[in-house]
Amino acid sequence: MTDSTPHSSSIPASGPAVGQDEWVARHAARRLMPVGPLRTVEERLRIVPWWAWLVLFIAAMSLLPVVESSGYVRRVGFDTVLYMLLALGLNVVVGWGGLLDLGYVAFYGVGAYAYALLDSDKFGVHLPTLVAVPVVVVIGAVVGFLLGLPSRRLTGDYLAIVTLFFLQLFQTVMTNGDSAFGHNLTGGPNGILRIDPLHLFGHDLTVQHQGVFAVSYFYVALGFFAVVFVALRFVNSSRTGRAWRSLREDPLAAEAMGMPVNWLKLMSFSFGAAVAALTGTLFAALNASVFPLTFYFVLLITVYTMVILGGSGSQPGVVAGALIISPLLEMLRDPGKSRIIFFAVLIGGVGLAARRSRTLGVAAAATIAFGFAVHELARAIDASWVSGEKAGGFAGAVDHWVVHPAQLASWIPPVSYIGLIAATLLVTTLHGRLRLVALVPTLYLSAFVWENVMLAKPEPARYIVLGLILIALMILRPNGLLGERRVEIV
Amino acid sequence: MALLELQGVSLAFGGLKVVHDLDLQVEEREIVSVIGPNGAGKTTLFNLITGIYRPQAGDIMLDGASIVGLEPHQISRRGISRTFQTLRLFLNMSVKENVMAAAYGHTRAGIFRSMLRTPGMRREEREIEALAHERLAFFGERLMGYRWDQPAFSLSYANRRRLEIARATATNPRILLLDEPAAGMNPAETHEITELIAKLREDGGYTILVIEHDMHVVEGISDRVVALDHGIKIAEGSFESVATNEKVVEAYLGLNTAATK
Amino acid sequence: MDQFTQLTVDALTLGSVYALIALGYTLIYGVLKLLNFAHGDVFMVGSFIGFGVLQLLGGTDNPVVPVWALLVIITFAAMAGCATLGVVIERFAYRPLRDAPRIAPLISALGVSFFLANSMQLLFGADPRNYNTFDLSNGALYLRGIDIGNVRVPLLRIITIVAAFVLMVLLWFLVNRTRTGKAMRATSFDREAAAMMGIDIDRVIVFTFVLGSALAGAAGVLFAVRVPTTVSIGFVAGLKGFTAAVIGGIGSIPGAMAGGLILGFAESYTQGYVSTKWSDLVVFSILIAFMIFRPQGLLGRPDISKV
Ligand SMILES: Nc1ncnc2c1ncn2[C@@H]1O[C@H](COP(=O)(O)OP(=O)(O)OP(=O)(O)O)[C@@H](O)[C@H]1O
Ligand SMILES: [Mg+2]
């Protein structure tokens, strides 16, 4: 079909644009695409179909236990796959449905507890794995559906409160469930122990094999991941997936275009819950025990950070988010690795922000010089200020630069930490040369705080990092690493 | 029997009577224009018909059956579709997906069939894609080619309006409600829209209700014109009779479009 | 009867703290349409500021100022500290996101909440902090009081409840009787229109954060004078305050007060007459009941969006 009017035929659709808005629109579209070699690479990569990427990815992941014999690394690998599954499920609700589900990890808990009750000595029930897992998934979906019901007419904010309260309620019920109606239903704070391992193909999957983490669970989890990834991908490109994304974009328009918005919200909600519950079975079977506190705010924020960092709405994105955050959190437990990550991020961050290499050079040189000066000054005034030094290695090298007292006065951590926050916020408000000047002591202060305050307490320190990632992402790059650029016109 | 019939429909927000005791009949394959000054209640009328608001009095019948109290998506499935004055596209979805999404109401494949990609589901997907192709091709090259896979937010204003119409027709409606389809368009584009609306009826057999401020467009397309002011129907009939109606001229006083036409 | 009196006093104490927190949520939601998840943690920080200043003033066993001055100073210090914190949070975590998709500031708020809770844990550890108010004037705050029947309502409770209500009245006055309050109400009604009428939106928002956070700081102290505080109380306190705001009708100031009291009564009576363990369940049921039967809350207006 062609245009029917003489006017329009004089406006070639793909030639040079006539009319300002046309040009502006094209300009915006051009800006979306990367230019130069990056663009060619991206175009080349696009030709490879998604399933080929998936096969490649799964194959690479499967190699992990082959190249790494350490039980610890395998275990982290397994946990990472669980996180990938959790992120995929949350992506259905947040990324596609656009619903802020803050009770998500409670469904993970529902799955874990349901499996524990159906497959342990607790009540002497031992369902076969192939029955228990589907049953648990259905339970998760139904609980999700029921929780969504009262909130179905409501906007994101109300859903957020109901689901967050549900997370809290799950805690209270599981913790106090050891004396509900005079029965011990959930084991209370002590959880449920001696949960059956998965039983597939006539074998119990053992967790430990000759004292080392056995790989069977890793492969089972990877299999679950592949299935869930493909199934959700298919749903996303079906009419249901389009409807989910439509309601995320504009619920009213979606409703007017014939999509039953409330029903679709419930579906997306209960699908996310089902994936979480499925992941919960793996968790319970591997650990052979479940405790209420696993499924709480910390885990919620962790999974959210993964989804947001990777790019909510994009399946490869949220998987990448899990692949980055899960090992990162592990490495932050260890002071040695944690220190290397810190300095790498510090240098990389300044490098990215500097844009011009000269600025970067000046900042780096000034900071290094500043550090040595402060260090020497501190030594000259009171040798105990630098007495916490370690010998040799990277840590030793850093200690020749950062002031590191063996004993910290109790006022130092709060003052330096709050001072660092204030200095960082100040730097973001300054411009030009002034910013550079303020940046140097701030960088040094951050190294001081990291070495003296944060490394001593890895537990809160790594969660502080998570919180910072979330805030910084929302401000600097809300679409995450791989998410599509989003616009919203209100 | 009229295809769409409103009987004594009223709606007030607080004390403000936005639509008051309105009667309206629209016949099959008719193009009716609704005019009126800003705030006359025209968009509210569309919101009432599509179920976004519920009338406080009166009845709305489609093919003799009342549609009052139905959810908007149910009304859409019964054959009433619309565009929005303020443009409510699914901005972060591609042009193609915007249209395909609107086929939801008259397609079947459930979630589990989609997961398994059953042959029936894949056939339906191909049909939906063909439908989107056809609806977008209605606007010539404008929404075709490379634009298919671009996000809707990258479209120009005029193209967004076109996409809204394409999306509305993808629900396979019998009645199409167009809320100011020519707003914000340049004269050439406005002229084009005028012809497109006539062509919509020819090709799709739709019954069309249009809200429009541009009197050239109204004159060009309407079988019948209805004028609203303060929620009350003040005139109805051919374009000439309405445009010269004293009450209408008065309502538009200061806006000399009506006076000069 | 005595138990009833006792529980009612408990309910009022708890409820007034919830109400103060809920007011912060409601105020900020009113002007920004943002659920400030970090609010509960601001409350927690307030209770710590109070504790810190109390130590600076010699602690409860050896205070350098009279008891009444001590209580006033720690409350005001917490209010000032939290107000500053609130302004900083708004300026750096929310303002850059004012025109972003709706979900962005919500997630940023989650990040801020997590950041605050863990920063406090980093600096001060997980140990509870007890104000030890019993040591003040040889326990007068606990031993003296008003007798209702056989129940003696301790002075400390009376002070807490009265202080909370005084703050609420002050707030009501600020919002309904001053120019700035008028600007706040206008902004919450329609931000763009208010901006066009020459209202400085940024100032109004900052002012709202000052008010809301200061109330949270006061609530932190009023809470912690009776119960030891820890760095992890923010989550549950925030959740309850937030629920109170929703039940009362989010955006409505009297609603937040009513919601807080309803929650206080529900929890206190459940704990007294049913079981100490299941009060969360009762509150959740109330929340769900409201979601189903009266989603706009007790005193909120139903939300009609223009199309
Ligand atoms: N949800 C609502 N709440 C309160 N008042 C409303 C609402 N929707 C519309 N109105 C009011 O109803 C009146 C009619 O609005 P409507 O949008 O129907 O006008 P219109 O005829 O479409 O005007 P325009 O030509 O400007 O589009 C206006 O005064 C408007 O402010
Ligand atoms: Mg209108």
pLDDT at B254: 53
The CA distance from A286 to A213, in Å, is 10
Please name the residues in contact with B254: beta carbons below 8 A apart, sequence gap of 6 or more.
none
Residues C273-302 pLDDT 10s: 988 888 889 999 999 898 888 888 898 876
CA of B221 to the centre of ligand 2 (A): 19
What are the structural domains of chain B?
A: 1-79+173-261 (3.40.50.300), 90-171 (no CATH)
pLDDT 10s digits, C63-83: 899 999 999 999 999 999 999
Rg (CA), chain A: 26
Q: Which residue has the tokens 């990291």?
A: A450
Q: What is the pLDDT of residue B103?
A: 97
On whether the CB atoms of residues C277 and A179 are closer than 8 A, the answer is yes
Residue A222 and residue A77: Cα distance in Å, rounded?
A: 10
Ligand nearest to C-alpha B38? 1
Tokens 């349901």, residue located: A114
Are the C-beta atoms of residues C83 and C116 closer than 8 Å to each other?
A: no
> What CA–CA distance (Å, rounded) separates B98 from A257?
10
Cα separation values, A264 from A228, A489, C111, Å: 19, 23, 28
From CA C67, how far away is CA C138, in angstroms rounded? 11
For residue A490, what pLDDT is reported?
A: 40
- Cβ of residue B85 lying under 6 Å from some atom of ligand 1: yes
- Assembly ipTM: 0.93
Output the pLDDT for position A18: 44
Q: Roughly what angle, to the nearest 10 degrees, separates helices C233-248 and A156-176? A: 130
Nearest ligand 1 atom to the CA of B46 is: 18
Domain residue extents for chain A: 6-47, 51-331, 336-456
Contacts for A7 with CB less than 8 Å, ≥ 6 apart = B188, B189, B191, B192
Residues of C (232-291) whose Cβ lies below 8 Å from A: 235-236, 239, 242-243, 246, 250, 277-278, 280-281, 283-284, 287-288, 291
Decide which of A243 and C149 is more confident.
Answer: A243
CA of A481: how far to CAs of A36, A299, A309, A314, in Å?
20, 21, 6, 10
Give the closest residue to C186 by CA, choosing from C172, C177, C173, C199.
C199
For the record, the structure tokens of C40 come out as 């509960």
**Cα B140 to ligand 2 centre (Å):** 28
What would the pLDDT profile of C10-61 be if each residue is shown by its tens digit? 999 999 999 999 999 999 998 888 989 999 999 999 999 999 999 999 988 8
| Closest chain B residue by Cα to residue A268 | B111
Q: Supply angle C-alpha A423, A426, A427, rounded to 5.
A: 90
Burial of A288: CB neighbours in 10 Å, binned 0-12, 13-18, 19+: middle
* Nearest partner of B41 among B255, B252, B232, judged by Cα: B232
Mark yes or no for CB contact A259/B105 under 8 Å. Answer: yes
Query: Best substitution site from B35, B42, B44 to test ligand 1's pocket, by max atoms within 8 Å of Cβ?
Result: B44
Whether C212 contacts C92, CB under 8 Å:
no
* Residue B13 to residue C307, Cβ atoms within 8 A: no
For the CA of B37, the closest atom of ligand 1 is 25
Q: DSSP for A187-229, please give it.
A: -GGG-B--BPPPEETTEEPPSEETTEE-SHHHHHHHHHHHHHH
Cα(A152)–Cα(A159) distance, integer angstroms: 8
Contacts of C107 in chain A (CB under 8 A): 304, 308, 470, 474
Give the pLDDT confidence of B91-122 residue by residue, as tens digits: 999 999 999 999 999 999 999 999 999 999 99
Q: Which ligand is nearest to the CA of B45?
A: 1
Alpha helices in A48-155 (DSSP H): 50-62, 64-67, 71-90, 104-118, 129-148
Q: What is the whole-number distance in angstroms between the Cα of residue C157 and the centre of ligand 2?
A: 57
How many Cβ atoms are within 10 Å of C166's Cβ, its own excluded?
Answer: 11
Chain A residues with CB under 8 Å of C101 CB are 478, 486, 488
**Closest Cα to residue C238, out of C79, C97, C42, C107?**
C42
Distance separating alpha carbons of residues A46 and B190, to the nearest angstrom? 39
Walk me through the domains of chain C, giving residue ranges and CATH numbers. Answer: 2-167+199-293 (1.10.3470)
For C96-143, how does the pLDDT look when each residue is reduced to its tens digit (9 = 90+)? Answer: 998 888 888 999 999 999 999 999 999 999 999 999 988 888 888 888
Q: What is the whole-number distance in angstroms between the Cα of residue B232 and the centre of ligand 2?
A: 15
Count CA within 13 A, CB hemisphere, residue A288: 10
Which of residues 88 through 107 in chain A touch C, CB cutoff 8 A? 94, 98, 100, 102
Q: How far does CA C226 lie from the centroid of its chain? A: 16
Residue with CA at minimum distance from ligand 1 atom 2: C306
**Residues in chain B, pLDDT under 70:** 253-261
Give the type of residue at B15: G
Which residue, A95, A89, A98, A90, is CA-closest to A155?
Answer: A98
d(CA A95, CA A104): 13
Give which of A239, A247, A486, A489 to mutate to test B binding, by max B Cβ within 10 Å.
A239
What is the separation, in whole angstroms, between the first and last Cα of chain A?
A: 34
Distance CA C43, CA C74 (A): 14
C1 touches A at CB < 8 Å = no
Strand pairing class (B232-237; B224-229): antiparallel
Residue by residue, pLDDT tens for chain A (490 residues) are 333 334 433 333 443 444 444 555 555 555 555 556 666 776 777 788 899 999 999 999 999 988 888 888 989 999 999 999 999 999 999 999 989 999 999 999 999 999 999 999 888 889 999 999 999 999 999 999 998 887 656 666 788 889 999 999 999 999 998 887 778 888 889 999 999 888 887 778 877 777 677 788 999 999 999 999 999 999 999 999 999 999 999 999 999 999 999 999 999 999 999 999 999 999 999 999 999 999 999 999 999 999 999 999 999 999 999 999 999 999 999 988 999 999 999 888 888 777 777 878 888 889 889 999 998 888 888 888 877 766 667 877 788 888 888 888 889 999 999 999 999 999 999 988 898 899 999 999 999 999 999 998 999 999 999 999 999 999 988 888 887 666 654 4
Identify the contact set of chain B against chain C, taking CB-CB distances under 8 A: 13, 43, 47, 52, 84, 86
The tokens for A170 are: 């799950």
What is the whole-number distance in angstroms between the Cα of residue B140 and the centre of ligand 1?
34
CA of C68 to the centre of ligand 2 (A): 62
Among candidates A1, A231, A243 on the partner chain, residue whose Cβ is nearest the Cβ of B140 = A1
How far is it, in rounded angstroms, from Cα B125 to Cα B140?
A: 23
pLDDT at residue C222 is higher than 60: yes
Would you state the pLDDT for residue A26? Answer: 53
Which residues have beta carbons under 5 A from ligand 2 (an ion)?
Answer: B 43, 85
Fold of A51-331: ABC transporter involved in vitamin B12 uptake, BtuC (1.10.3470)
Structure tokens at C299: 């005193």
Residues of B in contact with C307 (CB under 8 A): 43, 47, 52, 84, 86
* Distance between first and last Cα of chain B: 33
CA A455 to CA A338: how far, in whole Å?
8
Q: Minimal Cα distance from A248: which residue of B? A: B90
d(CA B149, CA A237): 14
Residue from the list A172, A308, A457 with its beta carbon closest to the beta carbon of C122: A457
Say what the pLDDT of residue A3 is. 38
CA distance A284 to A119: 10
CB-CB under 8 Å, A253 with B91: no
Ligand nearest to the CA of C307: 1
Q: Where does the pLDDT of residue C306 fall: very low under 50, low under 70, confident under 90, or very high at 90 and above?
A: low
Residue-level pLDDT at B246:
87
- Residues of chain C neighbouring A160 (CB-CB closer than 8 A): 35, 106
Q: What does the pLDDT read at residue B253? A: 67
The predicted structure's pLDDT at residue A8: 38
Please, are residues A327 and A78 in contact by the beta-carbon 8 Å criterion? no
The pTM of this model reads: 0.92
Residues in chain C within 8 Å Cβ distance of A252: 305, 307
Q: Whose CA is nearest to atom 22 of ligand 1?
A: B43
Nearest to A172 by CA among B24, C270, B125: C270
Ligand 2 center to B43 CA (angstroms): 4
B146 ligand 1 Cβ < 6 A: no
What does the angle CA C65 – CA C70 – CA C75 come to, to the nearest 5 degrees? 155
C304 touches chain B (CB under 8 A): yes
Identify whether the C-beta of residue A457 lies closer than 8 Å to the C-beta of residue C70: no
How open is the CA angle A192-A194-A195, to the nearest 5 degrees? 80
Contact partners for chain A, using 3 or more CB pairs closer than 8 A, are B, C
Give yes or no for a contact between B71 and B17, defined as CB atoms under 8 angstroms apart: no
C103 part of contact set with chain B, CB < 8 Å: no
- Cα dist from A334 to A340, B232, C144, whole Å: 10, 74, 54
Tell me how far apart the 2 most distant CA atoms of chain B are, in Å: 64
The DSSP secondary-structure symbol of C96 reads G
The neighbour count for residue A417, using CB atoms within 10 Å, is 20
Alpha-helical segments (H) within chain B: 42-49, 72-77, 95-101, 111-116, 119-137, 157-169, 187-204, 215-221, 239-243, 246-251, 256-260
What values do phi and psi take at C125, rounded to 5? 75, 180
Cα angle C28, A479, A103; round to 5: 55
- A292 vs A190: CA distance, rounded Å: 8
Whether the Cβ atoms of residue B144 and residue B159 lie closer than 8 Å to each other: no
Give B216→chain A minimum CA distance, Å.
16
CA of B55 to the centre of ligand 1 (A): 15
B143 min Cα distance to partner chain A (Å): 9
Residues 8-37, chain A, touching B (beta carbon < 8 A): 8, 11-14, 19, 21-22, 24-25, 28-29, 32
Backbone φ, ψ for residue C274 (5° rounding) = -110, -75
Q: How many Å lie between the alpha carbon of C186 and the closest alpha carbon of chain B?
A: 19
